[in-house]
Amino acid sequence: MKITSANFVMSNSDVAKCPKDRLPEYAFIGRSNVGKSSLINMLTNRKSLAKTSGRPGKTQLINHFIINKEWFLVDLPGYGYARVSKSAKKTFQKFITAYFSKRTQLVSAFVLVDSRHEPQKIDLEFMQWLGENHIPFSIIFTKADKLTEKKLPAQIEAYKQEMLNHWEEMPNYFVTSSSSGLGKDEVLSYINEINKELNTQS
Ligand code: GTP
Ligand code: MG
């Protein structure tokens, strides 16, 4: 899919105030600092459409971007970041779960995990929660550029093995790097295929 336009629409903390348009929507979620905002910039070829930072806790609201005037891409705050205050953390968790439970336009979530790390409890629990709530998701492994050619497939394989302890099969997944552009075509084609299917249904 060619991205012809990518524009910021709005930020807010209340799912009820999110755009009313019935456009297909895809949300990026994962731990703080995993690279959600960077991935959005990579996918859309925009350097700073979504705000990124070396320090975790940068994205604090639900951010809607409209792509090709046809679909929404959503940048969400990270979960599991210890340095924001307890009350702020609670608010995040609340509106993240409210977003996923109430946003009927949501077609699929992308759960980002850092390809360098062992499977983390918080990610496994979040995917479990998505499954229990019948919210479709894919996994996106991020920061692949930080691993050697040998280590990367070994990490993905180990992750698969862990997932198979909890799931009947490995969910759909992508291996990406926002610095090298790895995985860009795959993620965009995946979204494009779903959008085409939705178009033929309506
Ligand atoms: P929060 O908004 O705080 O939840 O973080 P986020 O998940 O949006 O992460 P963000 O995109 O802000 O990136 C965090 C840090 O990781 C930044 O310093 C990025 O430059 C770096 N980063 C993100 N993706 C990649 C990648 O693919 N490769 C490398 N080498 N660095 C990356
Ligand atoms: Mg962010």
Task: Give DSSP secondary structure letters for 79-101.
Answer: B--TTS-HHHHHHHHHHHHHHHH
Ligand 1 site residues, Cβ closer than 6 angstroms: 32-38, 52-54, 56-59, 77-78, 142-143, 145-146, 177-179
Domains in the chain, start-ordered, CATH in brackets?
6-201 (3.40.50.300)
The reported pLDDT for the residue numbered 76 is 93
Q: Can you read off the two tokens belonging to residue 110? A: 């992308």
Would you give per-residue pLDDT tens digits along the chain (202 residues)? 999 999 999 999 899 999 999 999 999 999 999 999 999 999 999 999 999 988 888 888 999 999 999 999 999 988 876 566 677 666 667 888 899 999 999 999 999 999 999 999 989 999 999 999 999 999 999 999 999 999 999 999 999 999 999 999 999 999 999 999 999 999 999 999 999 999 998 7
The reported pLDDT for the residue numbered 155 is 98
Return the best residue to mutate from 43, 178, 184 for the ligand 1 pocket (most ligand atoms within 8 A of CB): 178
Helical pair 184-201 and 36-44, crossing angle rounded to 10 deg: 80
Q: Which helix (H) or strand (E) holds 72?
A: strand 71-75
The reported pLDDT for the residue numbered 84 is 64
Ligand 1: atom nearest CA of 57 is 3
Q: If you take atom 21 of ligand 1, which residue's CA is the nearest one?
A: 35
**Ligand whose nearest atom lies closest to the CA of 32:** 1
% helix, strand, coil for the chain, step of 5 = 35, 20, 40
Looking at the DSSP bridge assignments, the partners of residue 135 are: none
**Which residues does 55 contact at the CB level (< 8 Å), separation at least 6?**
33
- Residue carrying the six token digits 């979504």: 50
Q: Which of 101, 108, 105, 99 is nearest to 23 (CA)?
A: 105
Q: If you take atom 14 of ligand 1, which residue's CA is the nearest one?
A: 33
Q: Give the number of C-alpha atoms closer than 13 A to the C-alpha of residue 57, restricted to the C-beta side.
A: 10
The reported pLDDT for the residue numbered 15 is 93
| pTM of the predicted structure, to 2 decimals | 0.95
